[in-house]
Structure 1
Amino acid sequence: MTDATAASRARTRLTNAAVPLDDFRLVRAIASARGLAGAAATLGVNNSTVFRRLAQLEATLDCTLFERRRGGYVLTAAGEEMVAVADAMEDAASGFLRKVEGKELAPSGELRVTTNDGLMGMLLTRIIGKFRRRHPQIRLDVVVDNAQLNLSRRDADIAIRATDKPGETLVGRRIGRIAWAIYGRRADFPDSTGAHAPELCARASWVGLGGELSEIRAARFVRDQAGGHDQVGFRVNTVRSLADAVIAGLGVGPLPCMAADMNRELVRLSPPHNDISSSLWLLTHQDLRHAPRVRAFMDFVGGELNRHRPLIEGEAPWTPQE
């Protein structure tokens, strides 16, 4: 059998057989040391182990990888091809490690993010826009839903969620408290200082939340403040539509400060109410926390939300340049 025929047969065997990666390292070590003793020292095993593994590998490939000469082990054509493959794998592995260590491995792929309509306002949309410009290789699929998608079932990769109970299998960071206050249409309250008089609650028409949001704190707050149902003339099942109702002059109502303070048509009529606030969390499943695209989103969006924490907590107004 010629060297060319042996090399061809080895290629066929490598294609059809499951050859462990360690066998490529074995052949490379023997070739580098020109013998079994040097390869055994490199690999941290004894001579008999190297001899046995080489014999098994040559039997599997049905070809000779080394010629045994007086001066040591010399590669055959088939052995040279196997060492070339081992060198290519070593180069690829080294390049990958350099990229990881130098943080050159760009996050990419699809990322599914869920949040609710009360949070997915102008602020969060702007932050996500900045993230996309920073990481154009990450494709975002944002699901705006008041129902909480299940991260454990991989309905979404990341949740931006208002909750005081984030879940035991989830990890992430707490940004702060989402402040809520009473708002009205600026045209109806041009002189408001943000501290409404108690009589406002007694005489105002209110708008509130209904449907699947009818039992959240803000919905119960409206029922308590309005003294029942008679003064609540309009209910809607999304926070965005609730803000639209206040802007349209249908009544006053509670809104998250991080959204309402950014709207020039709305004016704050009260200080934030602690009894309707909740924590803002940026969450992912613990099995996904080290994925590059997840880590990139968590770090960037978390940092931006922290920068806007005074707005989120109702302590500082938003300015357009932000």
Structure 2
Amino acid sequence: MPVAWDEFRLVRAIAERGALAPAAAHLGINPSTAFRRLAAVEAGLGTRLFERHRSGYVPTPAGEAMAAAAGRMEEEVARFDREVADRALTPSGLLRVTAAATLVTDLLMPMLGRFRARYPKVQLELIVSEDALNLSRRDADVALRATRDPPPNLVGRRLATIAWAVYGPVDGPGDPADACWVTPSEAVAGGQFARFVAARAGPERVALRLNTVQGLCEAISEGVGIGPLPCSRGDRIAGLRRLSGPEPELAGSLWLLTHPDLRHAARVRAFMDHVVAEVAPLRPALEGRSIR
């Protein structure tokens, strides 16, 4: 029997997530609906697409083939969307932008208002995520990322160095050797922050670990401990002071990235040019060269 495109998407979502509930959530449907649709597809094809185990759904060879076909179909749809977008002559339509929460609050949000004022026909969708979304599948059109190694399949601009230093409350210990620490955990940025703190303090002096950089500033400001912060943020907080110079081992780069097929689309080009111009005067602060 012919299988609808939506059923291919369903099978791929289950294969990627290993369970009905997260696959249904990804597709915006109820788990019971996903269960009924999968049963109907299997009945129509006359074969099982998944083995049901306690640990989850494991695709059979037929399920793997169908999931792979869905992936190829998604790529073709995304390629068509990019070709259509590339033909637009004026900046208009939907633009999906992704960035981590800290970049959104500290950097990006003020830029969006000015961009909208200049290009009112562009509708923005902001995806706040710590994950590297797949720009090839149009999960987003443009990504603002703090990374040392941007994906090789994307194109864009390196905007600035992101400098980090150690900060603490102005009325706290002046010597890091006497202080407790706040740090991102091993799961963040490949463990570079955790290694940095471990080289300066034993585990008994780590007062708080976070699985994200979000919340670091608040924890340090509240006196939980000293810790690393981006200079562009730490230098703006009146109650904090630098306890070190910029730390080279924590430095990263700020990149603005898009898919090669989208770089000439009018709305993408306009947005990237806008962000490049907006970031330029902020480079001294981002690079730790502008101290309060």
Corresponding residue to 2:273 among 299, 305, 316: 299
Amino acid paired to 1:301? V
Corresponding residue to 1:218 among 158, 179, 193: 193
Amino acid paired to 2:241? V
Bigger CA radius of gyration: 1
Gaps of 5+ in 1: 1-102, 190-195
Native 8 Å contact 1:109 1:138 kept in 2? yes
Partner residue in 1 for 2:99: 115
Deviation at 1:154, TM superposition (A): 1.5
Native 8 Å contact 2:185 2:191 kept in 1? no
Partner residue in 2 for 1:134: 118
Following the alignment from structure 2 to structure 1, what is the Cα–Cα distance between the partners of residues 183 and 155? 33
- Aligned in 2, Cα 1:244/1:179: closer, same or farther, shift over 3 Å? same
Deviation at 1:317, TM superposition (A): 3.7
Native 8 Å contact 1:160 1:281 kept in 2? yes
Equivalent residue of 1:303, what SS? helix
- 2:151 is aligned with 1:167: yes
Equivalent residue of 1:239, what SS? coil
- Aligned in 2, Cα 1:289/1:132: closer, same or farther, shift over 3 Å? same
Deviation at 1:238, TM superposition (A): 2.4
Question: How is 1:1-322 mapped onto 2 (pairs within 5 angstroms)?
Answer: 106-188=90-172, 200-210=175-185, 212-213=187-188, 215-226=190-201, 228-317=202-291
Q: Percent identity?
A: 48
C-alpha RMSD of the superposition: 2.0
Gaps of 5+ in 2: 1-87
Native 8 Å contact 1:115 1:160 kept in 2? yes
Equivalent residue of 2:103, what SS? coil
Amino acid paired to 1:221? F
TM-score (norm 1): 0.60
Count of residues paired in the alignment: 205
Native 8 Å contact 1:183 1:267 kept in 2? yes
- Aligned in 2, Cα 1:131/1:264: closer, same or farther, shift over 3 Å? farther
Amino acid paired to 1:120? V
Amino acid paired to 1:275? E
Following the alignment from structure 1 to structure 2, what is the Cα–Cα distance between the partners of residues 159 and 120? 11
Deviations 1:11-67 (A, max 9, x none): xxxxxxxxxxxxxxxxxxxxxxxxxxxxxxxxxxxxxxxxxxxxxxxxxxxxxxxxx
Deviations 1:269-292 (A, max 9, x none): 211001111111100000000111
Following the alignment from structure 1 to structure 2, what is the Cα–Cα distance between the partners of residues 269 and 133? 40
Deviation at 1:123, TM superposition (A): 2.9
- Aligned in 2, Cα 1:241/1:268: closer, same or farther, shift over 3 Å? same
Deviations 1:82-130 (A, max 9, x none): xxxxxxxxxxxxxxxxxxxxx9x54111111111123223332222222
Native 8 Å contact 2:176 2:243 kept in 1? no
Q: Which moved more, 1:205-214 or 1:268-277?
A: 205-214
Native 8 Å contact 1:123 1:259 kept in 2? no
Deviation at 1:264, TM superposition (A): 2.2
Deviation at 1:211, TM superposition (A): 6.5
Equivalent residue of 2:183, what SS? strand
Deviation at 1:219, TM superposition (A): 2.6
Partner residue in 2 for 1:12: none
Deviation at 1:225, TM superposition (A): 1.6
Amino acid paired to 1:223? A
Deviation at 1:187, TM superposition (A): 3.8
Q: Which moved more, 1:268-277 or 1:127-136?
A: 127-136
Equivalent residue of 2:152, what SS? coil
- Aligned in 2, Cα 1:284/1:206: closer, same or farther, shift over 3 Å? same
Amino acid paired to 1:130? R
Amino acid paired to 2:198? R
Following the alignment from structure 1 to structure 2, what is the Cα–Cα distance between the partners of residues 134 and 181? 36
Following the alignment from structure 2 to structure 1, what is the Cα–Cα distance between the partners of residues 213 and 198? 16
